[in-house]
Amino acid sequence: MDGLKNVTPHEAAQDTQTVDSMASNQTGGLLHDAAALQGLQELLAKVEPLLAGGRLNRIVDLVSITADLVDMTDEYMVEKLAKAFEETMGAAWTAGNAARMARTQVSNMQETPSLIGLLRMAREPDVRRGLAFMLTMAGVLGKGLTYDGLDYTKD
């Protein structure tokens, strides 16, 4: 309490009057302006449902979170996000192109390949590389989907 000053009730009332007079001087011009009053009435009409439903609190929280994010954002974070976005878009573009090319090749086939025909396709190094990628990806996904083994012999 070293930095606090003892204030008498008379001094506190005087300070309050000073603040009130400053506020009324600043807003006094607005209260006499018909356009400003009309704008305030329209604003209050729009804010009233937000206050009644408690949604204004959510909006204030959202603005607070946005301000915190802006404060936390630095050049390094922006660069990392930009790189992640660029890599994601590149992967999506590559997958889309691969799907379009495969669709074109399959639709140009005269007849559906037999099982032996599919095995013959596996002779091509590109097909084997693609299959290796798909099987490796399935293995990685499978590791994440582990579960307790079920005992089917028990009833």
What sections of the chain are H helices per DSSP? 9-31, 34-53, 55-72, 75-107, 115-121, 125-144
- Banded model confidence at residue 49, pLDDT cuts 50, 70, 90: confident
Q: Does residue 147 belong to any structural domain of this protein? A: no
Write down how long the chain is: 155
| pLDDT tens digit sequence for 6-41 | 656 656 556 556 656 665 666 666 667 788 888 888
Contact in structure between 58 and 66 (CB atoms under 8 Å): no
Q: Would the pLDDT of 61 be above 80? A: yes
Q: What is the pTM of this model?
A: 0.43
Q: Does residue 8 belong to any structural domain of this protein? A: no
Residue with tokens 């660029």: 86
Q: Find the mean pLDDT for residues 138-150.
A: 79
CA distances from 105 to 17, 32, 120 (A): 84, 76, 16
Q: Would the pLDDT of 1 be above 50? A: no
Measured between alpha carbons, how far is 89 from 21 in angstroms, rounded to an integer? 59
Identify the pLDDT of residue 62. Answer: 93
Q: Does residue 78 belong to any structural domain of this protein? A: no
Identify the pLDDT of residue 8. Answer: 67
Q: Does residue 94 belong to any structural domain of this protein? A: no
Q: Does residue 88 belong to any structural domain of this protein? A: no
Per the structure, the complete domain to which residue 67 belongs is given by: 15-72
**Mean pLDDT, the chain, integer:** 82
Q: Does residue 28 belong to any structural domain of this protein? A: yes
Instruction: Please count the CA atoms within 13 angstroms of the CA of 42 that sit on its side-chain side.
Output: 6
What's the structural domain count of the chain?
2
* % of the chain at pLDDT higher than 70: 77
Q: Does residue 81 belong to any structural domain of this protein? A: no
Q: Does residue 153 belong to any structural domain of this protein? A: no
CA distances from 13 to 4, 21, 58 (A): 17, 12, 36
